[in-house]
């Protein structure tokens, strides 16, 4: 673009990637004063991924709730999973933050069978 005193240039950088389904990862840790509350977050994902997330209210000085993918709770007990999330997430979250977390659970099963 030419002007009286010189030139101005616009560079466009474009990154394309596939839309994440669901748009939220496995867990959201929502601060008590975060701009998006747990209900709004759940409603948002419910529109594109209905019935996949659950809100768990937390008794914590800074964290209001954890929005969690229900399928994770089929693998691990809610209490145990929350303990891990809060132990790590609680260290970095504050009143105003919304932290997203990706959780991979691997189950290792080993069985011995006796046979004649």
Q: Out of 13, 15, 27, 34, point to the residue binding other proteins (CB under 8 A).
A: 34
Q: Smaller CB distance to other proteins: residue 36 or 103? A: 36
Burial of 31 (0-12, 13-18, 19+ CB in 10 A): buried
- Measure the CA–CA gap between 104 and 4, rounded to whole angstroms: 58
Compute the least distance from the CB of residue 64 to other proteins, in Å: 9
Compute the least distance from the CB of residue 46 to other proteins, in Å: 12
35 binds other proteins (CB under 8 A): yes
Cβ pair 105, 71 in contact under 8 A: no
Compute the least distance from the CB of residue 67 to other proteins, in Å: 11
Alpha carbon 70 to its chain centroid, in Å, reads: 12
- Site stretch for other proteins (CB under 8 A), options 8-16, 36-44, 68-76, 84-92: 36-44
- Measure the CA–CA gap between 74 and 54, rounded to whole angstroms: 12
- The contact set with other proteins (CB under 8 A) reads 33-40, 43, 96
């Amino acid at each position: 673009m030419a002007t009286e005193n010189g030139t101005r240039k616009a560079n466009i950088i474009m990154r394309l990637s596939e839309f994440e389904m669901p748009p939220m990862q496995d867990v959201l840790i929502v601060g008590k004063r975060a701009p998006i509350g747990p209900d709004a977050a759940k409603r948002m994902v419910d529109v594109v991924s209905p019935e996949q997330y659950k809100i768990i209210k937390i008794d914590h000085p800074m964290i209001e709730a954890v929005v969690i993918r229900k399928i994770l709770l089929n693998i691990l007990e809610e209490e145990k999973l929350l303990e891990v999330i809060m132990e790590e997430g609680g260290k970095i979250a504050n009143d105003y933050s919304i932290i997203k977390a990706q959780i991979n659970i691997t189950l290792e099963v080993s069985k011995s069978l006796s046979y004649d």
